[in-house]
Amino acid sequence: MSEIIKKNSWVVLLSKEKSFVVRCKGKFNTQYGIINLDELIGKPYGSEVKTHLGKKFVVTKPYLCDVMRKLERGPQVILPKDAAVILAKTGIGKNAVAIDAGSGSGFLAIFLANYLKRVYTYEKNEKFHELVKRNLKILGIRNAVAKLGDVRKGFEEKNVDLVVLDLEEPEKVVKHAYNALKKGCWLVIYCPFAEEVGRVVNEMEKRGFVITEIVENLQRSWSISFDKKGFSHLRAEPYVTFTGFIVFGRKV
């Protein structure tokens, strides 16, 4: 049986021209007219709704990428393009446990929690720790645990499969990551600056990690149009240039 839309749940309003992600409650104004969202409560996902001007939208259940657009942002986040590379290169999956530090806005923790069994995310700044808790609550994520603490003092968890560091002076946390990880498992360090890569690699090698790869992930979107003869024309969109180096190592 198809799932029913509940009051206040997130829904995606999809049309060819435009999509919106909203809580299902009350009235929603669009440039195509007003949608009465209360009409949708109790109907199955996949239903259609019309604005008061007659524009039709299909109502679907959101994926993570939809609702992440609604989250509050504090410090610079790890973008999905880089988070996806962490999953792909480590091959980590649904039975894995990870540590993420610092939490920042919680974007990486939320992304990882969508694929892994459990994520512990550490943040030393109380304001950002509260922000992460709010973001986890908005999305109803229960397998990510937000912890307030300075990771230079170490991690409470042992035998984890992955530690990701995205914070200042990550080299000072490498020894704690080593203690928290199972043998053969992954330390991934996100470095926005080239000088940091050298410091991190030296420390990782000294502490018993083997460096497997250092990656910069470039991603470019393209748009397509067709001329009267049906020939396609591709055009590169402006793209996010440098975001960070990602250093991958395994505990040996």
Ligand X SMILES: C[S@@+](CC[C@H](N)C(=O)[O-])C[C@H]1O[C@@H](n2cnc3c(N)ncnc32)[C@H](O)[C@@H]1O
Q: Cβ distance 166 to 78 under 8 Å?
A: yes
Among the listed residues 157, 166, 171, 203, the single contact to ligand X using CB under 6 A: 166
Q: Which stretch binds ligand X (CB under 6 A): 24-32, 38-46, 52-60, 98-106?
A: 98-106
Spatial contact of 182 and 159, defined as CB atoms under 8 Å apart: yes
Residue 150 binds to ligand X (criterion: CB under 6 A): yes
Distance separating alpha carbons of residues 19 and 15, to the nearest angstrom: 6
The dihedral built from the CA positions of residue 191, 147, 107 and 87, taken in this order, carries a sign that is positive
C-beta neighbour count of 104 within 10 angstroms:
23
Q: Which residue is nearest to ligand X (CB)?
A: 102
Selected range binding ligand X among 12-20, 60-68, 103-111, 177-185, rule: CB under 6 A:
103-111
Separation CA 138–CA 204 (nearest Å)? 36
Handedness of CA 87, 123, 170, 69 (dihedral sign): positive
Of 10, 75, 80, 214, the residue at the interface with ligand X (CB under 6 A) is 75
Residues in 107-146 at the binding interface with ligand X, rule: CB under 6 A: 107-108, 122-125, 128
Residue 82 found at the interface with ligand X (CB under 6 A): no
- Examine residue 170 and tell whether it contacts ligand X (CB under 6 A): no
Among 152, 158, 206, 220, binds ligand X (CB under 6 A): 152
**Rg of the chain's alpha carbons, rounded to an integer?**
22
Instruction: CB nearer to ligand X: give 142 or 152.
Output: 152
- What is the residue type of 177? A
Residue type at position 19: S
**Nearer Cβ to ligand X (19/179):** 179
Does residue 66 bind ligand X (CB under 6 A)?
no
Nearer to ligand X, 57 or 171 (CB): 171
- The CB-of-33 to ligand X minimum distance in angstroms stands at 36
The single-letter code of the amino acid at 122 is: Y
Residue 21 amino acid letter: V
Nearer to ligand X, 152 or 158 (CB): 152
- Burial of residue 83 (CB within 10 Å: 0-12, 13-18, 19+) is buried
Q: Does 168 bind ligand X (CB under 6 A)?
A: yes
Which residues of the shown chain bind ligand X in the complex (CB under 6 A)? 75-78, 101-102, 104-108, 122-125, 128, 150-152, 166-168
